[in-house]
Chains A and B, each alone.
Chain A
Amino acid sequence: MSTSIEQRVGAYIEKQGSLDLLRFITCGSVDDGKSTLIGRLLYEARLVFDDQIASLRNDSKKQGVQGSGIDFALLVDGLIAEREQGITIDVAYRFFNTDRRKFIVADTPGHEQYTRNMVTGASTADVAVILIDATQGVLVQTQRHSFITSLLGIKHVVLAINKMDLVDYSQAVFESIVDVYSEYSRHLEFESIMPIPLSATEGDNVIARSSNTTWYSGPTLLEYLETVEVGKSQLQHSFRFPVQWVNRPNADFRGYSGTVVAGVIETGQQIRVLPSGETAKVEEIILSKNSLDKAIVDQAVTITLDTNIDVSRGDVLVLADTPCEVSDQFEASLVWMNQEPGFIGRSYWLLIGTTRVNASITGIKHKVDINSFEKLSADSMQLNDLGEVTLSLDKAVPFEAYKSCKAMGAFVLIDRYSYATVGAGMIKFALRRAENIHRQALLVDRKARENLNGHGGKILWFTGLSGAGKSTVANALEQALHSRGMRTYILDGDNVRHGLNKDLGFTDADRVENIRRISEVAKLMLDAGLVVITSFISPFRSERDMARALFEAGEFLEIYVNIPLAVAEQRDPKGLYKKARRGELPNFTGIDSGYEAPEAPELELATAELSVDDCVAQILKII
């Protein structure tokens, strides 16, 4: 190769290396032409290869909805189901570059049922291109997408008013849509809104300026995307570094690997480890074999410290004099992403930065009706719900408001059994309650009460279908214990549902709350030194585990009163199964509501085969 080519290529690659990256999403209603617009952008930027065009022409003939022309949407809709249905289901990422910038486009689905996928695409985007069909104007969907865009912290929005060819490129139509949108978006938190008239199918104002819209003097879509200024703020933010991995190849080296999520760190600076608060000096910043003077936001490095302090995965390194808050109680925005609803009181894993803690929703302040923006009260989060919630964590974590630092305020909730990502949240602020409620120290404690009783407290947690014999066995057991001089109490449906829990019904959300309250009451009784027998169906594994988590090992004994459904239904001591079968008792466990059998109970009683006395004898053996 000649030197001149080498120089040209060298210069080009150097220039490419200095380009920055813009991530944007496209969103809009079902037929607004999002995929078509991206296809057009790639096609006109000459980023679609000849063989892809050949296969596209083929596919357009078979599946396209554009008549005899090329259906650009087929370039982007990659899943078989999407191509067959002509819709976008999942986020698709596309890549292109010009001489001025590199781009990653997330094409997100328009259907309401795929809101979670739109949230996924929006979580990493700097700019949102919101499509509006000029013949339709601002729709409910447009508002919904704008709301989510704003919620996820995207500051710059393109209002791409598409299908201008179908309204004769009318300036009046364009301006009236812009007016409606401006009015609507006043309460959203965008820094800039850029309306552009275009036609994705005809190519007007996508890349080249259109002669059909001489009244429009603003940039074309590509010009805008190439020049919009975004996201310099995290560079000026205080240094934040969640530790990902402790790098310890041998006894002589101990480094902390992670990605700088905000700010800059230099060697010699004093850092603080959160939540512990210990401080040390940065000795070295390593990126592979290079030693750096400083690391900036987004850089993945390994940091060594001048003293040996305790640092592990999940800790956050900050500058010693500009730390962030640490808390275990939050108010946050939450998007629910799973078919299985989210309940107040149920325990989830919460992933924030590189740390994982147990967390539960302590309250749902309101849900937002995604179409009217009305605030609705709710006792559970359903798929695609957006709401404001309060959360309680079992361990304090370093954090910041999502608005000021995305990486320090974003979290996901994970189901502890299916491991599914069920929720995505954005911290608003910490609740101070944790610091203000001080537990009253009592002079007479549990130990003292147990000494007086002459025996320790215990929780005997019965679980099983209605009619399995829980109450019968519980009563016989209490009699046996009582006769031995032990202090006991039975918590069961009758004494709890008629008083403490009379406000609760039998929906899944109410069942979760029912068990939560019973667990807490049982805990108080244990503290009083009693042997507590609880006798509830308690159908969900996660609530039984939540109850178990309140107690020390050995205090909580789960007793599975196991009976085949057919036998319970045949016995039907209270006539409840018959009622349920007639449809008079909705949400009845075993009929139209599930029962999750314990995986490892301390004791299993097959009450179809055992006598009541046998059952009691077995329980006495394990106490």
Chain B
Amino acid sequence: MKSIKQLSHLDSLEADSIHIMREVMAHAENPVMLYSIGKDSAVMLHLAQKAFYPSPPPFPLLHVDTRWKFQAMYKFRDEIAKSLGMDLIVHINPEGIANNINPFDHGSSQHTDVMKTQGLKQALDKYGFDAAFGGARRDEEKSRAKERVFSFRSKAHHWDPKNQRPELWSLYNGYKASGDSIRVFPLSNWTELDIWEYIYREQIPIVPLYFATERPVVERDGLLILVDDDRLQLQKGEKVEIRKVRFRTLGCYPLTGAVESDADDLASIILELLQSRSSERQGRAIDSDSSGSMEKKKQEGYF
């Protein structure tokens, strides 16, 4: 027996996440997996397939769309859903469509609130989902570092950070009053580096935007914005440049900054990450609105 090695770090992260997903099945009547098309969602979806194999994951995917994702993301999303044969629900806040909410005219804060936070609440209510998997990680942001794996929301989807259930060992108390729901974060203990190492090891398909290539961008408010479609109106003094860029994180294209990079495959992305001096959320306009902004958004129902 002595010759047997303990599980490696990646294997034990994988096992923990699988354990969490299976526990949810014992507690939830109508679970759903939030699918945001990014690398974390890709890993989460891959883990779900492993967790329940040979059964298919016993829940649908939900994409809360804002109409402002990168075109490459939509293409990738539809291909993945088709190849896995899983149900994909796409929800767009109809009030957002009616009022033509967009990041240019309404700013990142309002756009995110209406299209993502309100859109998510609508979708969860509409389908009566009582548990929703999300790909958030504790290393992303300080308020997330304090959030439980099983995170409870009131009927109004509020999060109360000062009144979280103690979460001990691997014993997850997923019991809830009717009307309440749980957000479950199976990737809580993964880091950005773990995600990439796992994608590399398991050869998980991801959106090509993560790989560097020459793309048309404009520089705006310190971010490199991709000219993804003709809704991007050039402002005075701005000009479209072709630069070799990639994305460390994916969101709405007008709010997501590219980084200049030569990393055009998984191995060089990992290498670049090891040398990196800035965190992945740097390219996100929504986090820097104000200090503690993520905690406030989360209390209001943001994932």
Q: Which A residues are within 8 Å of any B CB, using their own CB?
A: 1, 5-6, 8-10, 12-13, 16-21, 49-52, 55, 58-59, 62, 75-81, 83, 89-95, 97, 102, 104, 116-117, 119-120, 123-124, 231-232, 235-236, 244-245, 247-249, 253, 255, 257-259, 264, 286-289, 296-300, 302, 313, 337, 349, 351-352, 354, 406-407, 410-412, 414, 418-421, 424
Contact = CB atoms under 8 A, between A and B. Distances in A.
B191 A95 contact: yes
Nearest to B23: A244
Contacts of B264: 1
B14 to A, nearest CB: 7
Interface stretch (B67-75, B85-93, B164-172, B238-246): B164-172
A97 B201 CA distance: 18
B277 A79 contact: no
B175 interface: yes
Q: Which of A95, A124, A253 has the most CB of B within 10 A?
A: A95
B278 interface: yes
B15 A299 contact: yes
A286 B9 CA distance: 20
Interface in B267-296: 267-268, 270-271, 274, 276-279, 282, 288, 291-292, 295-296
Nearest to B281: A51
Nearest to A59: B291
Contacts of B270: 9, 12-13
A59 B296 CA distance: 17
A75 B145 CA distance: 11
A412 B200 contact: no
Given A51-B282, A300-B51, A259 B292 contact: no
Given A90-B146, A248-B55, 8 more contacts: A12-B270, A92-B146, A93-B188, A93-B189, A120-B166, A244-B19, A298-B11, A349-B175
Interface string B186-199: 00110101000100
A296 B11 CA distance: 11
A13 B201 contact: yes
Contacts of B292: 80, 83
B267 to A, nearest CB: 4
Contacts of A6: 267
A5 B25 contact: no
A257 B22 CA distance: 8
Contact of B170 (A89, A259, A297): A259
B53 A299 contact: no
B282 A337 contact: no
A245 B26 contact: yes
Contacts of A247: 52, 54-55
A424 B53 CA distance: 33
11 contacts: A79-B161, A79-B295, A244-B19, A244-B22, A249-B54, A286-B53, A286-B54, A289-B53, A410-B168, A414-B175, A419-B175
B55 A249 contact: yes
Nearest to A349: B175
B18 interface: yes
A21 B11 CA distance: 10
A421 B8 contact: no
B138 interface: yes
> What are the nearest 10 A-B pairs in CB distance?
A78-B142, A300-B18, A9-B267, A288-B50, A249-B55, A49-B279, A123-B168, A300-B15, A419-B175, A80-B292
B54 A253 contact: yes
A349 B173 CA distance: 10
Contacts of A12: 270, 274
